[in-house]
Copies of this chain bind each other. A is one copy, B any other.
Amino acid sequence: MMAKDAIRFEVTHQKTGQSGWHARVGRVTTAHGSFDTPAFMPVATAAAMKGLTPTQVRTTGSQCILNNAFHLLLRPGAERIAALGGVHKFMRWEGPILTDSGGFQAFSMAQINRVDEDGVTFQSFIDGKVVHLGPESSMAVQEALGADIAMAFDDCPPAGGAIPESMARERTMQAKDRTLRWLARCIAAHRRPDQALFGIVQGGTDLAMRSASVTETCAFDLAGYAIGGVAVGEGTAAIEQVVRHTAPLLPLDRPRYLMGVGYPRDIAMAVESGVDMFDCVLPTRNGRNGMAFTQAGAIRLRNAIHSDDEAPIERECDCEACAGGFSRAYLRHLFIAGEMLGPTLVSLHNIRLFQRLLLDIRRAIEEDTWLQFRRSWPCTNQVQSGSLDLNGVSDD
């Protein structure tokens, strides 16, 4: 078996012919079970979904989750997790797991000593130790962790003014080309037959560069392809332009993964463009801060308006917080009093909200009721205040 056969992807429903409409429903099958697409993967950065047990995560309907190789490499160490039987056993998640390559965090979060053709050398944020991460070591780390899907090690520069305008195009081009060279090295280094390897398309907000990157990346016959370098500071409109352009160029018979995105609006847009997989820290990170998502939009539970409100976050919701009858008044109390149970309950709700969104998305595609879906989920028509700027914080 080769790595590209480690997973199986079937498209079970697709309506073609309509301009700009590329949405499809499918299923990805891994050594640890299947997940339905379009899929939302909540982020368990350090092999733990913050404040939630695996049992609780399962109740949200999440089928596949994401771990960060960068964090696990630094602590507790990939070899340690391998010796303990791999990350599924370590964190007691029996379903599919995807690991990112560590590149994004190494480039955006770490104290960088050197970036060159061999990768990135940085100082551990834990103990200051000098660590090198490159295509070969990222593959070794991800194989040691043993997730079902590994990501190629890519060069992902920040956008949105972090680099001077005059240099931005050159840096984007450099990142695209280097990502491609690293992809070849990742493929050469990758050994594990029960683990799929996804390539990553770069190119920033330059659509011609995105097209070139798709052609170059998809010349490698891989189990799946991701759109990287999105939601790194470039704003909602630019995300949409890149995704609507790039996603339809990717092979029809492989899963397409939009990394680190996003708000319900971004997800709905990307699904229309043919994206199959999403991950984002929003449900848990915002949940920990008392922001609850609803079909109608987000609410801030710390606000005094909720002090005496007997209503749950959302009457229609079947999550443990809403169906369990926890009132907004109680949830507000938990956040004001600094009780850990607040983050737990609102994270449970938010993840379930995202899974309900994806359930309704899959049903609307199958039943050809997309406009009704868009109307019943007003949040998918709202641009959030500010851009989806998760630059440097795509961990949770």
A88 nearest CB across to chain B (Å): 11
Task: Please encode chain A, from 324 to 336, with 1 for each CB lying within 8 Å of some chain B CB and 0 for all others.
Answer: 1111011011101
In the assembly, what is the distance between CA of A47 and CA of B46, in Å? Answer: 30
A239 at the interface (CB under 8 A from B): no
Write out, one digit per residue, whether chain A residues 42-58 have a CB within 8 A of any chain B CB (1) or not (0).
00001111111111100
- Considering only residues 333-385 of chain A, those with a C-beta below 8 Å from chain B are 333-334, 336-337, 339-341, 343-345
Question: A330 contacts which of B91, B310, B339 (Cβ < 8 Å)?
Answer: B91
A341-B76 contact given A84-B310, A324-B92, A330-B90, CB 8 Å threshold: no
Are A48 and B90 also in contact (CB < 8 A) when A307-B80, A310-B84 are? no
Complexed CA–CA distance, A190 and B96 (Å): 57
Whether the pair B333, A46 counts as a contact (CB closer than 8 A) is yes
Q: Nearest Cβ in chain B — how far from A69, in angstroms?
A: 15
Please tell me if the beta carbons of A344 and B91 are within 8 angstroms of each other in the complex.
no
Report if A340-B51 is in contact (Cβ < 8 Å); known contacts: A91-B330, A308-B83, A327-B84: yes
Cα A78 to Cα B56 in complex, Å, equals: 31
Across the interface, which residues of B come within 8 angstroms of A325, CB to CB? 89, 92
CA distance in complex: A324, B83 (Å): 19
Residue among A71, A75, A320, A337 with the highest chain B CB neighbour number at 10 A: A337
**A309 to chain B: closest residue by CB:** B84
What copy number does this chain have within its complex?
Answer: 2
For window 202-238 of chain A, which residues contact chain B by CB distance below 8 Å? none
A350 to chain B, nearest CB (A): 15
With contact pairs A76-B333, A91-B330 given, residues A84 and B308 touching in the complex (Cβ less than 8 Å): yes
Chain B residues with Cβ below 8 Å from A48 are: 334, 337, 339-341
A336 touches B51 (CB 8 A): no
Q: Which residues A69-125 have CB closer than 8 A to chain B?
A: 71, 75-76, 80, 83-85, 89-92
Add 10 more A-B contacts to A48-B334, A83-B308 (CB < 8 A): A46-B333, A46-B337, A48-B337, A50-B340, A50-B341, A51-B341, A52-B341, A55-B320, A55-B324, A344-B344
Q: List 21 A-B contacts (CB under 8 A).
A: A46-B339, A47-B330, A48-B341, A50-B339, A51-B51, A51-B340, A51-B344, A53-B56, A53-B320, A53-B341, A75-B336, A76-B332, A80-B307, A84-B327, A84-B330, A90-B329, A90-B333, A92-B324, A92-B325, A340-B340, A344-B344
